[in-house]
């Protein structure tokens, strides 16, 4: 039998009386508004295009989150984003398995969803540059791509990435540096070929 702590018992009693905070529609609405853009950027970064698929996957992420909101026992406005991103990642993986397709090269990033910190540093200024960058990002291993998405699309600090992926901070920072170097090198080589 598990040891029962006072804090655990107190949390269980609160949950029994009030349910989880996310089960409240007003709290979930606030949760949705706070995290929608981050989830959209994350799905876009992992999936690529078309935008309609990204929108559908983002909507499905929140639908599944709502359906399982009663089982969420974290603090929605602080720990909820990690929970949402895990749901979104599973949906992207499931879609690839169903379709058995590769990531599609994107023509351009949607204008209504600005990047927080575009990478590599301000090289991407025109739609042709976006196509080249996405083509290069598609060549990265999935883990490196996810780390870049978390860092530059969601503007997460390295320690947040490490915590989310359950890896040491250094293990998260090295792939960022190497991926950026690889992207910059390949970017230069593509420019020279043209």
pLDDT (tens digit per residue) in 3-38:
545 555 445 444 444 556 777 888 888 888 989 999
Residues 20 and 93 in one domain: yes
Name the region of 155 (left: φ>0; alpha: ψ -120 to 50; beta: rest): left
What percent of the chain clears pLDDT 90, i.e. is strictly above it? 12
What's the count of helices (H) and strands (E) in the chain, helices before strands?
A: 8, 0
Task: Look at residue 159 and tell me whether its pLDDT is greater than 70.
Answer: yes
What percent of the chain clears pLDDT 70, i.e. is strictly above it? 68
Task: Look at residue 184 and tell me whether its pLDDT is greater than 90.
Answer: no
- Dist CA 28 CA 129 (whole Å): 38
Task: Look at residue 59 and tell me whether its pLDDT is greater than 90.
Answer: yes
Q: What is the pLDDT of residue 114?
A: 47
- Dist CA 110 CA 140 (whole Å): 21
Residues 11 and 85 in one domain: yes
Residues 88 and 167 in one domain: no
Q: Give how many domains the chain has, as a whole number.
A: 2
CB 46 within 8 A of CB 93: no
Q: What is the pLDDT of residue 107?
A: 44
CATH number (domain holding residue 139)? 1.10.10.10
């Amino acid at each position: 039998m598990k040891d029962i702590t006072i804090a655990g018992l107190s949390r269980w009693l609160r949950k029994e009386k009030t349910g989880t905070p996310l089960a409240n529609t007003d709290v979930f609405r606030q949760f949705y508004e706070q995290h929608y853009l981050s989830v959209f950027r994350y799905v876009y970064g992992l999936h690529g295009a078309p935008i309609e698929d990204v929108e559908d996957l983002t909507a499905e992420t929140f639908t599944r989150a709502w359906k399982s909101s009663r089982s969420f026992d974290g603090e929605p406005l602080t720990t909820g984003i990690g929970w949402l991103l895990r749901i979104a990642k599973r949906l992207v993986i499931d879609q690839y398995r169903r379709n058995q397709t590769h990531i599609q090269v994107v023509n351009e990033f949607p204008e209504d969803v600005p990047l927080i910190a575009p990478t590599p540093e301000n090289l991407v200024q025109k739609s042709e540059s976006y196509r080249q960058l996405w083509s290069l990002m598609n060549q990265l291993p999935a883990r490196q791509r996810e780390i870049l998405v978390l860092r530059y699309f969601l503007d997460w600090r390295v320690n947040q990435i490490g915590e989310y992926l359950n890896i040491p901070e250094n293990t998260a920072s090295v792939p960022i540096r190497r991926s950026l170097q690889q992207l910059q090198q390949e970017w230069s080589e593509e420019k020279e070929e043209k």
